[in-house]
Structure 1
Amino acid sequence: MPRKTDARARAIAAAERLFRIQGYTATGLTQILAESGAPKGSFYFHFPRGKTQLAEEAIDRYVASRMAVLRNISADTTGDALRFVQQICDTFAAEMIASDFQYGCLMQNLANELPALDAELTERVARGFADSTEIVAEHFMTCGFAPARASSAAAALVAALEGARTIARLERSPAVFEALAEISLQRWAAPEGRPGLV
């Protein structure tokens, strides 16, 4: 039997994985417990508010991981908006391939379900998107984008990445990420003043 410290972490990791694959409503506590190996008594010790509290922790874990990935890519592509976007697309595509195209974005999955179920969880997801978008906008500003352009380009890129992940799951192909990177080269992340750009 896993130690109590392990049981909590395992439950959060299992919830995150299942929410990414099948969403919030379709994921029951029985399945989470079975996949995590956490005993029921231990679960309620760590999560006295049950599935809602577990979802909060899974969202926070996912958002922290996503932001760390974006920050690492930003640090690796300092001053280069095009390479920044290319690496993000490559990273998302690689994750989709590694998961055999099972993983959606936890925030996107929950955003499609939670508004009718839980306002606080919905707000948590919204903050996750906002914080992720801010990292992208900050990178664009360090590349010389004006603040308004950086914000709009970041919002467009994040929205497109979410759609790309959905299409990749349906098509079981990373090709959509290649297309997204290409259009970014032409518009969103291209240098200021390039002909034909907004």
Structure 2
Amino acid sequence: MGGLAICVFCASSSRIDGRFIELAEQAGAELARRGHTLVSGGAQVSCMGAIARAARAGGARTVGVIPRALVSVEISDEDNDELIVTPDMRSRKGEMDRRSDAFLVLPGGIGTLEELFEIWTARTLGMHEKPLVILDPYGVYDPLRELMVGLTEQGFARPRIFDAIGWTGSIPEAFDLLEGRQVALRPTAEDYAEAEP
């Protein structure tokens, strides 16, 4: 299966370790190899820029969506095949959502988390059925996963939240999940405390 528009949420911080830039580059190369289109935050900096450059180098089409206020801060990537400048962050997220068939989340900060939670919540509530996958080979989001398991145990969230997301450290597996070639597995007792059914 090919030809998906895959939205990637990732870091725009310039202070992160180089291994996260490499992860973005590898994900961009794999996205291109599989014949997909990249939808991203439209910036040249950090992981956002790295994934877009790698995707283009592999022949993929790239679409960047950036709010007007961040054009100079994140430095908009004018090499995108299409660059959309939105009035604000909310319209940016809406445009990225509208243009995407699936969502891939790389390690990132509060902006990445905001994007992740909005898409994850909407999928859990049945507002869309677009695949959502976290790619985290370095365990950045392990505390988040533990938190979410704890919230289910305490009744604040239902265990089905884990049916709405894939979680992997493998780039090929992440894209297999996005393409629907594998079924996402919820955390087990071996990894974290078992969520009550």
Higher Rg:
1
Q: TM-score, normalised by structure 2?
A: 0.33
Structure in which a larger fraction of residues adopt helix: 1
Q: Which structure has greater strand proportion?
A: 2
Structure with larger RCO (C-alpha < 8 A, sep 6+): 1
